[in-house]
Structure 1
């Protein structure tokens, strides 16, 4: 029977960021199956982090190494971005951010030829191709296994904030979905998605893992598609609800937000998470996916309803001293300014479509924005 590996040591508050990105052709800006060619070209370069394939062959994932700050994350993502753009230019394709491609047809996608992806395709059928969606994952280092679980459940209160600030997937299959983040609807279709079980000790979590693997439902931690999951091999928790932003600057800012929250939790122990926090979790998550920064947020302690945007701004003000100490002040400032304006990437995409009335042109402009020239 599989066993849960020990929780590794990591430096508290260190960061790691993964970005899943779109590869598109430059004649009609549909997805293009060029991940092998991109991996071959990127493999010749000396770069931080890593570049790997994803579920379908029009996707590619870049990852930073272990970073100390949002600025460190931005530095590594910028190097990776610039290399990707140069390699894409050689292939006459473009690299684009965003949580969904606005008009790709999922049935045309090809599963990347890798044993795990073939296995998932056999198990999940058409859901595997529908998983051609693009997310940002942020890892944050934790002092110990027990503290990682406490941090995970504290962080869960801020899942709606993460969704609304990163939302960049309003379009699916050529249609405006009315959601700011439609991507998470695809993730939710998987049976092991949702939230982690409520336990605040690693012994308790190990007991859950052993029961689950005994049933044969899962074989390893990779089989859990939770919104936040522990990553024992890295000594981190991994937040998985972010849509891939349209720029590496926003991706780094979101990492700065996670780091600042984690610092607040570790230094001030602001509240003790309880199972009842999750009574409003699904509602808050839906609100953020559907309405983005215009969502309603239900406070899990008081049950009070308030605009999510207001709660985001309150939270960012609260985090400011920790952000300054960590060098994440500019990241928090960027997010606060956008929250004040009700601006996220989903809004930008809709504005482009309202102006152009042509989704391929929206994708082209998204590619320019990712390059840093649009």
Structure 2
């Protein structure tokens, strides 16, 4: 088994009014207060969002500590600014559009992409795993493509939107797919081929810059990592740690398979799209698509298979027990989308959803 790579996590959060639950344009105020508390928050495209980023860590225990600290600090900063911090993939209630954060880059994106940008409020989670070089990142990306729908199903956390049940566990992923460089990436034979594709998208004006390569797995533009971006921001810290541990296990397994020259699973575009749709629709409840055999299979069974497939890597990283316990908990209790629907169905009152999301955001075990 390969050496244990380091990892880091970015989480995006929504800022809402503590009474109405409507998104509020307070990201600068929240970031300024967090800076006073020695935590740097990043401003996102819309001014009702902030992003946290952990330091590079070696193990999931330290990752959990950092994630909990960052959520607590960001939540306290939001409260000081008159807002509430929520770990949700989309706002359960929202205005017709979101104000774009007032920076030159974000203003330009807002002008270029219109309502795609102005109907944003989308909150995801990105996991970075260290890799030897950019060609290794491309190899890992190719091998992770069949698992992306399952990782999406696991983290789905955007069932309630515009005061209604969307009928999907991850409506965020449906809206996110409108961007021209979002979703699963194509298979690339090398980093040079990847760079040529990005150059074409930029040269034709489809994307503004390489920071707009939003594919669900990609070589990082800024770090020696592969970045997995498929997830809704998970409801709880424990679910984020579970997701990160699985991503690292998948990346380590992919590197080992690449080292042994094992073939990459061929993926028909229609099959991958079908698996994505099922993942967005069902989350962890019901069936997904077994992409090796092109048949339906319970998501719980597919997650069990993924755990066994990555078991050597998970054991080497000391994460096998964490992952098996975490998956058992999600199978038993559900994920963020399950929580949202459970709260919604009590009274069909979005206030119940907001309260559930707020509690989950700061839940500690």
* TM-score above 0.5, yes or no: yes
Among residues 73, 79, 95, which one is paired with 1:105 in the alignment?
Answer: 95
Contact kept? 1:33, 1:58, Cα under 8 Å? yes
Contact kept? 1:16, 1:67, Cα under 8 Å? yes
Among residues 93, 96, 108, which one is paired with 1:119 in the alignment?
Answer: 108
Among residues 205, 226, 231, which one is paired with 2:215 in the alignment?
Answer: 226
Residue matched to 1:96: 86
* 1:56 to 1:211, Cα distance in 2 relative to 1, 3 A: closer
State the TM-score, normalized to the length of structure 2.
Answer: 0.91
Pairwise mapping of residues 29-108 of structure 1 onto structure 2 (< 5 A)?
A: 29-47=21-39, 50-107=40-97
Q: 1:92, 1:279 → 2: CA distance? A: 46
Shift in Å, 1:268 = 4.2
- Of stretches 199-208 and 239-248 in structure 1, the one that deviates more from structure 2 is 199-208
Contact kept? 1:264, 1:319, Cα under 8 Å? yes
Q: Are 1:351 and 2:342 an aligned pair?
A: yes
Contact kept? 1:198, 1:275, Cα under 8 Å? no
Among residues 3, 6, 23, which one is paired with 1:14 in the alignment?
Answer: 6
Q: Are 1:289 and 2:280 an aligned pair?
A: yes
Q: Deviations over 1:94-119 (max 9, x none)?
A: 21111111111232x21111111101
Contact kept? 2:109, 2:208, Cα under 8 Å? no
Q: 1:62, 1:289 → 2: CA distance? A: 25
Q: Deviations over 1:149-186 (max 9, x none)?
A: 11001111111111111001011111111000000111
- Of stretches 269-278 and 117-126 in structure 1, the one that deviates more from structure 2 is 269-278
Q: 2:206, 2:82 → 1: CA distance? A: 43
Q: 2:217, 2:150 → 1: CA distance? A: 14
Q: Deviations over 1:218-257 (max 9, x none)?
A: 3532122212122142122211110111112211211111
Describe the SS at the equivalent of 1:306: strand
Q: Are 1:26 and 2:26 an aligned pair?
A: no
Q: Are 1:272 and 2:224 an aligned pair?
A: no
Describe the SS at the equivalent of 2:88: coil
Q: 1:86, 1:297 → 2: CA distance? A: 38
* 1:335 to 1:46, Cα distance in 2 relative to 1, 3 A: same
Pairwise mapping of residues 193-272 of structure 1 onto structure 2 (< 5 A)?
A: 193-269=182-258, 271-272=262-263
Shift in Å, 1:62 = 0.7
Q: Are 1:338 and 2:321 an aligned pair?
A: no
Describe the SS at the equivalent of 2:186: coil
Shift in Å, 1:330 = 4.3
Describe the SS at the equivalent of 1:43: helix
* 1:219 to 1:12, Cα distance in 2 relative to 1, 3 A: farther
Contact kept? 2:170, 2:281, Cα under 8 Å? yes
- Of stretches 353-362 and 211-220 in structure 1, the one that deviates more from structure 2 is 211-220
Describe the SS at the equivalent of 1:313: helix
Shift in Å, 1:60 = 0.8
Q: 1:195, 1:154 → 2: CA distance? A: 12
Q: Deviations over 1:42-88 (max 9, x none)?
A: 112224xx411111111111111212222222121112112122223
Q: Deviations over 1:233-284 (max 9, x none)?
A: 2122211110111112211211111011112222344842255354411110
Query: Tell me, which stretches of 5 or more residues in structure 2 are unaligned?
Result: none
Figure out how many residues of one structure are paired with residues of the other and give that number.
361
RMSD of the TM alignment (CA)?
2.2
Q: 1:31, 1:209 → 2: CA distance? A: 33
- Of stretches 227-236 and 121-130 in structure 1, the one that deviates more from structure 2 is 227-236
Q: 1:262, 1:362 → 2: CA distance? A: 34
Q: 2:309, 2:239 → 1: CA distance? A: 20
State the TM-score, normalized to the length of structure 1.
Answer: 0.89
